[in-house]
Chains A and B, each alone.
Chain A
Amino acid sequence: MKTIAFTLNGHKTEVDVPDNELLIETLRERLGLLGTKPGCLEGECGACTVLFNGKNILSCLKLTADADGATIMTIEGVAENGALSGLQQSFIDQGAVQCGYCTPGMILASKALLDEKPRPTDEEIVRGLDGNLCRCTGYIKIIEAVRAAAFKKGP
C-alpha cells in the first residue's frame, strides 16, 4: 500500500492504494466517481478517458501509484460551479449524445484537444477523437459538437 496524493477535480485528494491498483479502480471503486466508464479495460475504447496533467489518458492503463502529485480531471469536474461547460452544452445542442456511455470520455478527449488547440481544424478534431470509440452516432454530431464549442461566439 502506498499513500498517493493528487488534485482531483480541483480538490486535494489522498488515497492509500496497492501498487497495482488502476486509476479507473481508484476513481470508481474508492472515490465513487462513476462517470469514468469501463468499456474494455484493455486500453482500446476510450470510455475511461480522464485528463491527467491536462492530457487525455486512459485510466484503465494508468496505475494510481503513478499519479502522485498529478492533476486529474474526470467528467464530474467539467461542469463549472454547477453549470454545464460550453463543451457539455454543445454535446447536448448538437445531438452528440445517444447511449451516452462513450460521452464522458469523448467530452474529456475533446476538452484536451480544445485546451491545446482552441480553434482546431476538422481534421484535428477527427484525429483528436480517434482513441474514443462510439457505436451509436457515426461521430458526425460529436465532431459538430466540438466544432460548435470551439467556434461559438462568446457567452
Chain B
Amino acid sequence: MNRETRKTTSPVGKAVPRIDARPKVTGEALYVYDMRLPGMLVGKMLRSPHAHAKILQIDTSKAERLPGVKAVVSASDTAKIKFGSNEYFFPYTVDQLPLEDEKVRYIGDEIGAVAAVDEATAEKALSLIDVRYEVLPAVFDPVQAMKPGAPAIHTSMNNIGVMLPVQYGDVEGALKDSDYVHEDVFYLPSAAHCSLEPHVSVGQYGIAEERITLWTSTQAPFKVREALAKTLRMEQADIRVIKLNVGGGFGGKLEMLPMDFSACLLSKKAGGLPVKIACTRQEEFSFTRRKHPMIYKLKSGVKKDGTLMAITGEVIADGGAYCSYGPTLIAASIMRIFMVYKIRNFRVFGFRVYTNTPICGAIRGFGGVQSGFAVESHMDMLARGIGMDPIEFRLKNATDPDTVTVNKLVLSTNGLKECIRRGAEVSRWKEKYGRGKQSDADVVRGIGIGIAADVMGSKMYKAHESAGTIIKVEEDGSVYVFTGAADIGQGSDTALAQIAAQELGVAYERIRIKAADTETTPFDTGSFASRVTFISGNATKNAAGDVKRQILEVVAREKKLDKEDLDIRDEEVVQRGDNAAVMSFDKAVELCYSFDYGHLLIGRGNYNPKTTPIDFRTGEGNISGSYGFEAQIAEVEVDKKTGRVKVLKVTDVHDIGYPINPQSVHGQIEGSILMGVGYTFHEDLRLTEGRVLNPNFSKYRIPRSTDKVDIASIFVETKDPQGPFGAKGMGEASLLPTAAALANAIHDAVGVQIKELPITPEKILAALKARQKE
C-alpha cells in the first residue's frame, strides 16, 4: 500500500480511495470554519425577536461607539435589492432582502450585522443596537394563512407564494371508470439538514481593487457569486467565491444567505479587514433553512386488474417567511410521480404558502421525501383495496424504458421494474409478505416496499445547466483537473478524478483536483439535483478526451501514424487494433513539450444535458438528461405492547447506470437510508409560534451509531448512453422511499397504516387501539 508506487489504471468501476480521504483522516483538511486571516474579525447577525413586525427605527450608534467594534451594518447600508433562488422560472418569488428594511417576517429574520475584535464584543454590540418594532399579528399555520383575513406576510393573495395546478387527461372520467377509489391525507413534519459543519463565511473586501473574496461553506459557489453581485450591486467579475472542504450540505448550503452578504459588507466598512461569520448550532437549526412541512391529500382510482386510472390531490406546503427554492421544490414534489408511475389522468394542485416561520428550502430529496411517503403509502393502500400484492401492483404500473411520460419526460434507460423484481427476490418477499397479520404474538415482523426515481440535474437556476472542466497536463506528466463542481462530502471530486484518469488513459493517482473557485475554475451550477457525476462528469470526460486528442496528434505526427488508430490505455500510447505499445504516456507528454512541438497540454470540456424547456407551471418538458430509479424493501419488527419498531433490514436496489466508484455509491445509499430512517421515526423540527423548540442535537435527535440499520445495497446497471461511462446520478433517490417502505412494513406487521411522520410508538399504539374499537 505504498502511496508512491500505487498505480490504479482504468479506475472507473473500482473502489479507489477517495481523493480527499488522506487529509481528512489526518486533520489537515481545511474547512471554512478553520479559516484564519491576519486581522480577522468576528461577525454576528442581528435577528428579529418577533415573528412579524414593522421595523420603525434601527439605531446603531451605541454599538458603533463600543470599543472593539469595527463595523455595523443594517438595511440603510445596502442597495435594498431582493434575492431569491428561483428567479429564472419564478421571478415574482424573489422576495428576500439581505438585510430587511421595513418588516421582519420570522423569528430570526436578519436586519443587521456587526464585526468586532472578538466574539464577546460582537455579542455586546448586538445588544446595543436599538431597534423599535411595531409588532404585527402573525400566522404560523399554512391552512390558517390561506384564509381570507389572515395577516398578510408579503403582497401575494392569501399568502400563497406559489400555486401550481398540474393537470393531465380526464380525471373525473377515469375516476368514474375505476373499480376502487381511495382517499388519504398525509402529514409531513419539518426537518433540519444537520450538516456537521455549520454555515460559515469569511468575507474580505480589497480596497485597492474594489473587489470581494468570500470563502463560504457552500454547495454552489457560482450561484452565491451571482446573488452577491446582484445584492451588493457589483460586477460578478469583482467577486470571487471560494469553496474549501465542506462539512456536509444536504441542500442547506445551496443559496447565498444574509450572513454571506453581511460578511462582505462588514469587511468593506471595516476597512478591508476579513470578517468571519459562523452559525452556532442553535442558529443553524433555527435560522438557516429547513424542510417544508406538507399536507399531502391524495385521491386515486384503480381498476380491479391493478391499472392506475387517475390520481388527484392537493399539496399544501408551509414555506416559511420567504420563497427560497419553494417554487421549484413544490413542482418537483408533485411531478416526481411521472418518473415512477404510468399515469395519464392526473390533477394535483400545489400551494406553497407563506407563514411567519423560519424559511423552508432545499433539502436532500427536494420535496420527494414528502411526496415519496405520501404516494408510496397511498399506493399500498390502493393495492390492498383491490387485494393485490404491492409488488405486483407496482410492476403493473411502473414506468418502462424508452417511453415518454404524459408530461414529456423522456425515460430512456429505466431499470425500475428490474429494481422491483430483484428487491422482491433478494428480500424473499413472497415468503414474508402478509405473515405478520396472521400472528398472535406480541412482537411481529413485517415487510414493505417503496419505489422512487430521481433526476440527474435540473434547470431550476439558469436557462442552461452547463458545467465545464479544464485539464492541464504538465511537463512532468502530472494532471490537474479544474472543476467548478462542489464536492460537499459526497465524493464527486473522486468520481471526477476517476473519470478524468479513465478517459485520459492514466493512473488515478496522477490526478489532482482543483475545486472550486469562481475565479480559477470553470462555471458549474453546483451540487444539487444529484447532477455532479452525470453533468460535471461528462464535462470532465470531454476535457480529458480533448487533451488526449492533443497528445495523440503529436504522437501520430512524430511516429507517422494515423491519430485515429491511436489511444492511451493504462499509461501507454497504444495502437487501437492490437494494443501494441507506441510509447509511454510520460514519453508522449515529454514529446508534446519538446523543442519540435512545444505543445502545451490544456484540455477543455463542457456538457449541457439534452433536455427540453420545462414549463414549471404545468410540469411539462424533459427536465433531466437521464433518470435514476430504485426500489427499497424494508423489514421491521413491531412490538404491539410498546409500539416500538426495530428495523431489521433495508434492501435497496438502485438503477445507478454504472457505478464510477462502487464504494462511494454504496456510501451515498447507506447515508441516505439512515437519514430516511431518522425522518421516519424521530426527526421533527418543532415550532411554537414561529420559534424552533428543539434547536440542538439532544432535542432534535439524528440517527446515531446505535440506530444504524443493516442495508443490502444492490446495483442495477443500465449503462446510460448519456452518462459518463454509463453512470447516472444517485445522491438523493435512496432517501425518497424509505419512510413509506417502513410505514408499509409496519402495516404488514400489525395492520395499521401511519399517515403522519414521525412514526412514534405512541402513534402506533393509538392506531392499534383505534383499530380494536372498530
Asked, given contacts A39-B197, A92-B17, A104-B27, whether A99 binds B245 with beta carbons under 8 Å apart, the answer is: yes
- Which of A34, A104, A107: most chain B CB closer than 10 A? A34
Stretch from B108-116, B467-475, B485-493, B514-522 at the A interface:
B485-493
A100 at the interface (CB under 8 A from B): yes
User: In the assembly, what is the distance between CA of A132 and CA of B197, in Å?
Assistant: 14
Distance, CA A78 to CA B670, complexed state (A): 28
Contact with A along B487-503 (1 / 0, CB 8 A): 01111000000000000
Chain B residues whose C-beta falls within 8 Å of the C-beta of A140 in the assembled complex? 670, 708, 711
| A3-43, CB < 8 A from B | 28, 33-42
The 0/1 profile, CB within 8 Å of A marked 1, for residues 22-44 of chain B is: 11111111110110000000000
B667: which A residues are within 8 A, CB to CB? 95, 98, 136-138, 141
Is B705's CB under 8 angstroms from A98's CB?
A: no
B697 at the interface (CB under 8 A from A): yes
Q: Are B27 and A136 in contact (CB under 8 A)?
A: no
> A79 to chain B: which residues have CB within 8 Å?
26
Q: Given A76-B27, A79-B26, A92-B25, are A39 and B670 also a contact pair (CB < 8 Å)?
A: no
Q: How far is the CA of A123 from the CA of B542 in the complex (A)?
A: 47
What string of 1s and 0s marks CB contacts (under 8 Å) between A67-89 and chain B?
00000001110110000100011
Chain B contact residue count (CB 8 A cutoff): 56
Whether A97 and B21, one on each chain, are in contact in the complex, defined by CB atoms closer than 8 angstroms, is yes
Among residues of A, the one whose C-beta sits closest to the C-beta of B17 is A92
> Is B206 an interface position by the 8 A CB rule?
no
CA of A33 to CA of B36 in the docked complex: distance in angstroms? 12
Chain A residues closer than 8 Å to B488, beta-carbon distance: 99
DSSP majority for the B interface? loop
- In this complex, which of A93, A99, A139, A140 has the most chain B Cβ atoms within 10 angstroms of its Cβ? A99
Give the distance in Å from the alpha carbon of A148 to the alpha carbon of B256 in the complex. 41
Bound complex: CA A84 to CA B23 (Å): 10
Nearest chain B CB to A137's CB is how many angstroms away?
Answer: 5
* B705 and A39 contact, CB distance less than 8 A: no
- Whether A52 sits at the interface, judged by CB under 8 Å, is no
Q: Are B195 and A135 in contact (CB under 8 A)?
A: yes
Contact: A135 with B708, CB < 8 Å? no
Q: Mark A117-155, 1 if CB is under 8 A from B, else 0.
A: 000000001110110111111111111000000000000
Q: Bound complex: CA of A147 vs CA of B151, how far in Å?
A: 57
The residues of B that contact A42 with a CB separation of less than 8 Å are 281, 696-698
Nearest B residue to A129 via CB reads B705
* Cross-chain pairs A/B with CB under 8 angstroms, 26 sampled: A35-B28, A37-B31, A39-B198, A39-B281, A42-B698, A91-B21, A91-B25, A92-B21, A92-B22, A93-B17, A95-B663, A95-B667, A97-B21, A98-B248, A98-B489, A98-B667, A99-B246, A99-B247, A100-B23, A101-B197, A104-B25, A126-B705, A126-B708, A133-B194, A135-B193, A140-B670
Q: Which residues of A contact B (CB under 8 A)?
A: 28, 33-42, 44-45, 47, 74-76, 78-79, 84, 88-89, 91-93, 95, 97-104, 107, 125-127, 129-130, 132-143
B residues with CB within 8 A of A: 1, 15, 17-18, 20-31, 33-34, 193-198, 245-248, 250, 280-281, 488-491, 663-664, 666-667, 670-675, 696-698, 702-706, 708-709, 711
**8 A-B pairs closest in CB distance:** A35-B27, A99-B489, A101-B247, A100-B24, A75-B27, A138-B670, A138-B674, A44-B697
